[in-house]
């Protein structure tokens, strides 16, 4: 029996992102993000109800500023006291785990989808999903981009505008494009 494109995505195998089942899941995430971004703050609270229900895991005290976008939502795990500032984007084709007390600045982008390098296969809309893990007490500055498959250790800092192309060790500060360790 062959796997569905969703099952391939969840297994970290190459899959076609233009699939009816995946389209339905993305639409559900778009609707939840839209609700979150358009409710009056007094009605929404820290996070819109559809968005909270969509996430795989979301601590009670998570706070997400409006405008927010996610690809599916179902792969997002948010620990206690997590804060996502305005304009954050999480393309969660694979699990995205953000640990307790971590903060993401405005317009931080987290990508799990990685497209095929072969141009003929890329034309077939093939991609592979690679998880992103952000530890506890991490601070990611505004406009930073976290690429597929990255792990950022506890207590790390990612400078504003950085592009993280490699894992970041716990307690390390990285800056730049590509992000490099900031000398002490």
**Which residues participate in catalysis according to the annotation?**
115
- Burial of residue 70 (number of CB atoms within 10 Å: 0-12, 13-18, 19+): buried
Q: Which residues of 20-58 are buried (b: 16+ CB within 10 A; e: fewer)?
A: eebeebbeebeebbbbbbebeeeebeebbebbbebbeeb
Q: Rounded CA gap, 56 and 33, in Å?
A: 15
């Amino acid at each position: 029996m062959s796997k569905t494109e969703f099952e391939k995505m969840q297994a970290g195998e190459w899959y076609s992102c233009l699939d009816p089942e995946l389209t339905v899941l993305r639409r559900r995430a778009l609707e939840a993000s839209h609700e979150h971004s358009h409710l009056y703050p007094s009605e929404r609270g820290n996070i819109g109800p559809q968005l909270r229900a969509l996430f795989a895991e979301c601590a009670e005290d998570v706070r997400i500023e409006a405008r927010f976008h996610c690809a599916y939502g179902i792969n997002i795990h948010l620990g206690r006291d997590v804060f996502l500032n305005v304009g954050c984007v999480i393309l969660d084709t694979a699990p995205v785990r953000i640990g307790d007390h971590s903060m993401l600045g405005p317009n931080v982008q987290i990508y799990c989808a990685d497209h095929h390098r072969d141009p003929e296969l890329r034309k077939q809309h093939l991609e592979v999903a690679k998880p992103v893990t952000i530890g506890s007490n991490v601070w990611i500055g505004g406009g930073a981009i976290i690429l597929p498959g990255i792990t950022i250790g506890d207590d790390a800092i990612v400078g504003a505008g950085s592009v993280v192309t490699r894992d970041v060790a716990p307690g390390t500060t990285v800056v730049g494009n590509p992000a490099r360790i900031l000398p002490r």
